[in-house]
Structure 1
Amino acid sequence: MNSTFRTDINGLRAWAVLLVVLFHFQIPGFDAGFLGVDVFFVISGYLMASILFSGLSAGTLSLRGFYAARMKRIYPALMVLCVACLIAGWFLLTLRDYMELGAHVRESLLFSSNYRYLSEAGYFDVAAEEKWLLHTWSLSVEWQFYLLYPLLTLGLYRLTQRHGALLAWTLAIALVSLLWNSYCSIYQPDTAFYGFPGRAWELLLGSAAYHLTRLWHPARNAGFGLHIAGLALIVLAACVVTPSAWPGLWALLPTVGAGMLILGNSESSLTRGKFWRWCGERSYSIYLWHWPVVALLHYFMIADDPVWILSGIVASFVLGELSYRLIEQPTRRHLAHVSAGKTLLMMLIIAIILAMVGQAVRRTGIPERLPDEVAMLVDRDLLSNPRRDECLQAPSQCVYGEGPVGLILIGDSHADAVVTAIESALAPEIGGILFKGDSGCISLPGLDHTDPRKQECLQMGDSIPDLLLQYPGVPVLLIARLSEHANGGQIQPDQTASFYVRGGTSRYSADWFSQFSDWYLRTVCEVASAHPVWLMRPTPEMTVDVANQLGRHRMINRQYDLSLPRIEHDKRHRYIRALQDEVVAQCDVRIIDPTEILCDEERCIAEHNGLPIYRDDDHLSEYGNRLLIPLFRTMLDQWPR
């Protein structure tokens, strides 16, 4: 075989990219195609080890040249892709979506997007389909490897130049990474998927395969057997693995398979031929351009249409061909005559400029490009309580309205989302509203939190009795997203609750729900013994970001029903509604129910007169809370004077 071009490895690239593309386009039978990325990692690890150790052995290694070569390979097509996404986003994306794209462009060009996505939605979550540059996470992992692996290589080479010892060291480090990934796959799956420390073992496995090829050259038949067995392992993995807790130990199947094929150094019709060569050589460009096509199909809500799916696959390969011919090859030819230092400087300058453009988009979203009706739909300042930043925090104690405090509102961000509507419903003789609450908190005493960062929640809750003593007999309204904290009433013993009763269990179980119910009954009734108390039923929680989705539909003149089936709302809040009914039965507490206004017997509305009644998926907007003014006015008409 040609020593400078491995037909089998090029064919393996083709296998990897086909698996990924067919998985992302949701072709039946390729539900585990995501493992193609793991195969790419092994190939990269092998090639990097080959370049570095060959250079060290020959005394010709230049780190500057190494990094310049990596930049020439990766940056040009990636830069063009980022620019293309920014241009398309200018015309298609809402303010928040475009700001998010700007951040993703910045992180992709700085090769840190894997950690950006780690802080956002998981790779297999529905929300991931909205991220046009999601696939760049793997490029970031590879580049982090390129930065660190040469240093490891130099260190190991100084320690020993024997491939047997180098193989042992490489496998030992890979084992540590694999064990960390296996742990994270169970307890921190997103970290296992996106994090470099948990992915390094796959690249190091490729490096180990290189060292093994220097120690053992299998006979022709043995090499062919390894070739076929390696492909068989990849096919087996594609048939049996699932996204659950991936990569973990299951990733050994495709990665060991890739390593076996590399070690076999053989050929077959499964990796040799015009198609495999064409696809393998263009695998990087195909990979780069296919995901934005997938994301656009989801954006236009045609990702389930067979005709559009086929068109998307064809478009991915056409774009891959154009990118290869018009970007990859020309830049390689041109930069072949440019020194490594100049190449590095040029690439870094362009990348930084484009990253700065991404940051500028991230800061503002450039609202001037949007039609006025769309800008209004997604403007946070118009959708949210204007005093949210001031008042929605544990140390704050805000008064809405004028006069002495006539109502104490205790709660969280859901309470903040309706306080201005209550203020509008106030009669002058009632006075003002004292608001006490913080986002994500249950603002009542007697709880602990599993997140140490939520200590302010606990301190605020414990301060509520003293606060109420300052206003004897003043009515209290309690509003909180209790269904979220109670996991919708679902028992999941392996899942830790955000809040739990002090001294009780912290995992969702029969004991947790029993303790929580007893605590809630006791605490609310204690408040009701000294104050008139109202409880507000949970508001419907949508499955999408309503304001943003409505803006998207307006951008492309599409009509779409964003409402929620009433049965889903009732199921989500059944436990909390029953608990509130029990409180009413045991002590003098009254109920107000926004469902009467926001839902009919079939569905719960998401918009009213063309405006979003939610600013996201579960918080009422300043448009939506206006609908509840009659409800609050009726409540206040019954208020004790």
Structure 2
Amino acid sequence: MQYRPEVDGLRAIAVLPVILFHAGFSAFSGGFVGVDIFFVISGYLITTIIYQEMAQGRFSMWRFYERRARRILPALFVVSLACIPFAWLWMLPNEFKDFSQSLVGVATFTSNILFWRESGYFAGAAELKPLLHTWSLAVEEQFYILYPPLLLALYRFVPKLLFSIISLGALASLGLAHWASSAHPSANFYLLPTRAWELGLGALVAIYLQRLRSGDNASSPLEGPLREVAGLLGLTLILYSIVAFDEATPFPSLWTLIPVLGTALIILASNRNTLVGRLLGVRLLVGIGLISYSAYLWHQPLFAFARIRLFEGVPDSAFWLLIAVTFALAWLTWLLIEVPTRKYLKLPRPQVLSAAASGCLAVGIVGGLGWFNGGLPDRSAPSGLSFSQLDSAKMTKVNHGLSSTCEGSFTLSPDCRTGEKPSVMVWGDSYAMHLMQALTSSQASKEVDFIQFTKSVCAPIFDLALTNHKYGPSWSAGCIDFNNQVKEWLKESIDVDYVIMSSPMGIIFNKTYDGSGKLYPATESLVMEKLNETANYIRSLGKKPVFISPPPRTGDNLARCVIGSLVFTNSKGEEISCDFSYNETSSEHKSVTQFLHNTEINMAVVELSDHMCDGNKCSAAISDTNIFRDPGHLSHAGSALIGQESNLLGVAMEAADSFSATD
């Protein structure tokens, strides 16, 4: 295969924004498109190699898999195994269990499926998963397993239809991706069927260029000035997507055509004689492109372990240092691992494939041991305590309120009530769930029964739900249906006197959906209108609504900080402090607080920070009790402690009574 330095330069354009995006630099908000660029390049290169060998009558499936094993697995094994000591030292048992599962995913080429299954609302933070980025490798590996036999069959039996069939398959995959971007966004992001079109477009470019070179096509429409225009347009499309896209962009979807078509145009049109080809062919970009695979492998573990260990946060200066270390390790890995195993390790094919299988087995066994032993909670933390002694699993346990049964769908299960005639209804999303221990442990709860209606991300507002790239219109319709079921039940209930509502009100930051099929831009005025209509309806039934605000939060994982303070010191060797001032709360929290204290709101509002903060100082732990289980939700014990110390239920009922008296 003829070497094209501009393709290596294109690899550099792919890997650099991915690394800068994962480092958190806002100027590269669309840096994740680098993965899509890699997919197109992979589809192009793999198809070119296979097509040339088929045309020469010397294609061997086993030789193809040997080359893939030499190319992908040695560096992947090295990076995966290098993560284990740091995971052992620094990860909590639940995190180590997830990490161990990801090792199994690496070994079985199923990382993308694993991370899709782990991508629920209560899943651990993505930036703390050292091997999260291997999902894209799994997509490619699955493609490598399925695609060569298909291409070989098409070439042998219907060669004239080969281009058309792959085109139709790519279009079907693109259509599926665009539909799934709102219907099933997580599966859409991680799984092969909705990513195949990107690899397929690279394949189509390869087939077109091969037929052009073999004389099957009379001439290329991209000649002379058109080559320059196409190359420049392609580069512009890529650069635009890197700076203009962000995490709210539905992905993959029709929007993904922008960087994908840009990449295809560059591969089609650019060469050493064009401006873009010369630009991408400069020595620095080509050098980065050559080590781009290893750089991609190293950057996520380095960033993740820095975030795991530095509880006070990773400054930008540290990220620049980590980026430098990434490329240093990438160069060493390329020099000592990639090049020797691909070019100089003269082993028979059976030995190469056996070594690949043995490596997968070894990584899988190590991962399986950590997975099936629950993240090895008896490991000793740096303080000498074991994580099981800290009971970190209990400290970070998901807080579903009365029961996990009460999450996600309308239910009248006995698990979601404390008596047959509940006088207090708790309604909302996960920020209503985590109040249950506070409410049931309050002094005022002694003669009160509760019922819980909760659905994550679904704010307690009738006829309105948020919609975004993660929660599309179909999910939003489900949220509205859930709230309508609550509405009908409440209408028939004669026992409920108080309706306690809570939510972080993410709905004010997203598009909204009213159930009629119409989407609205995010406006506080519309949310306020619907929230007031909800409160008025509750009062019309003779019941008293009250809204409890979300707890003050900074955006950092306060639970990890508290656990870390028990076993680690900070980067300066000092004791870690997890307390924070109210002024340090996130901008989103401040916006929600301002919204909930708007004089136009037509119900009582209880400010939770009044019961969690002493003046301007807020605590992440009181004595030995961690208040939070993650960046925003209260832990089981923390919620109960707040309820005991503040009599939160009594405060909420009194606020509702006072508002009704003055209404």
Q: Deviations over 1:143-199 (max 9, x none)?
A: 22212221331232134335xx54444344334444554566677766665443343
Inter-CA distance 555–60: structure 2 relative to 1 (3 Å threshold):
farther
Partner Cα distance (1:209, 1:583) in 2: 61
Gapped regions of structure 2 (runs ≥ 5): 466-473, 571-575, 658-663
1:327 partner amino acid: I
* Whole-angstrom distance in 2 between the partners of 1:356 and 1:265: 51
Q: Structure 1 CA distance, aligned partners of 2:194 and 2:132?
A: 18
Q: Deviations over 1:579-623 (max 9, x none)?
A: 996346xxxxxx765432223554654333464212233432213
How do 1:291-302 and structure 2 match up within 5 A? 291-299=300-308, 300=310
1:445, distance to aligned residue in structure 2 (A): 11
Indicate conservation of the 8 Å contact 1:85/1:132, yes or no: yes
Matched, 1:255 2:263: yes
Over 3 Å counting, the alpha-carbon distance change for 1:505 and 1:21 in structure 2 is closer
1:572 deviates by: 0.8
In structure 1, give the amino acid aligned to 2:551: P
What residue in structure 2 maps to residue 587 of structure 1?
none
Relative to the length of structure 2, the TM-score reads: 0.75
d(CA) in 1 for partners of 2:26, 2:541: 58
CA apart distance, 1:28:
9.1
Does residue 71 (structure 1) correspond to residue 87 (structure 2)? The answer is no
Matched, 1:547 2:559: yes
Query: Using the alignment, how far apart are the partners of 1:546 and 1:18 within structure 2?
Result: 31
Q: Distance in 1 between matches of 2:600 and 2:452?
A: 21
1:462 maps to which of 488, 494, 503: 488
* Residue in 1 that maps onto 2:211: 215
Select 1:53's aligned residue among 51, 54, 61: 51
Residues 443 and 464 in structure 1, CA contact (< 8 A), matched pair in contact too: no
Q: Do 1:290 and 1:316's aligned partners in 2 also have CA atoms closer than 8 Å? A: yes
Contact (CA 8 Å) 2:401, 2:435: kept in 1 or not? no
- What letter matches 1:355 in structure 2? G
**1:130-145 correspondence to structure 2 within 5 Å:** 130-145=128-143
**Does 2:618 match 1:597?**
no
Check the 8 A contact 1:90/1:98 in 2, yes or no. Answer: yes
Partner of 1:288: 297
| 1:57-456 map, 5 Å | 57-118=55-116, 127-161=125-159, 166-181=162-177, 193-217=189-213, 232-233=232-233, 235-241=235-241, 242-244=244-246, 245=249, 248-260=256-268, 270=279, 278-299=287-308, 300=310, 303-306=314-317, 308-332=318-342, 336-340=346-350, 343-362=352-371, 364-371=374-381, 372=385, 376=390, 378-380=392-394, 388-389=402-403, 392=406, 394-397=411-414, 408-411=424-427, 414=431, 416-426=433-443, 430-431=446-447, 433-440=449-456, 451=475
Moved more, 25-34 or 627-636: 25-34
Residue 484 (structure 1) aligns with: 505
Which ranges of structure 1 fall in alignment gaps of 5 or more residues? 585-590
Answer whether contact 1:399 1:432 (CA < 8 A) is retained: no
Residue 647 of structure 2 corresponds to residue 632 of structure 1: yes
The equivalent of 1:582 in structure 2 is 602
Aligned residue pair count: 606
AA aligned to 2:356 is M
Q: Is residue 226–residue 260 contact of structure 1 (8 Å, CA) maintained in 2?
A: no
8 Å CA contact retained: 1:397, 1:436: no
Backbone CA RMSD of aligned residues: 4.7
Q: Does 1:526 pair with 2:541?
A: yes
Q: Per-residue displacement from partner, 1:21-51 (whole Å, max 9, x unpaired)? A: 4554567976655444333223222221123
Correspondence for 2:620 among 601, 606, 609: 606
CA contact (8 A) 2:234 2:266 kept: yes
1:407: how far off? Answer: 5.5
Contact kept, 8 Å, 1:233 with 1:254, in 2: the verdict is yes
Match of 1:588 in 2: none
Identity over aligned residues, as a percent?
Answer: 24
TM-score, structure 1 normalization = 0.77
Does the 8 A contact of 2:443 with 2:644 survive in 1?
Answer: no
> Aligned to 1:535, what secondary structure does the other structure show?
strand
Cα deviation, residue 251, structure 1: 1.4
* Secondary structure at the counterpart of residue 505 of structure 2: helix
CA shift for structure 1 position 310: 4.1
Distance 1:418 1:15 in 2: 47
How far did 1:64 drift?
A: 3.0
Q: Which amino acid aligns with 1:396?
A: S
Instruction: Using the TM superposition, name which of 328-337 and 62-71 deviates more.
Output: 328-337
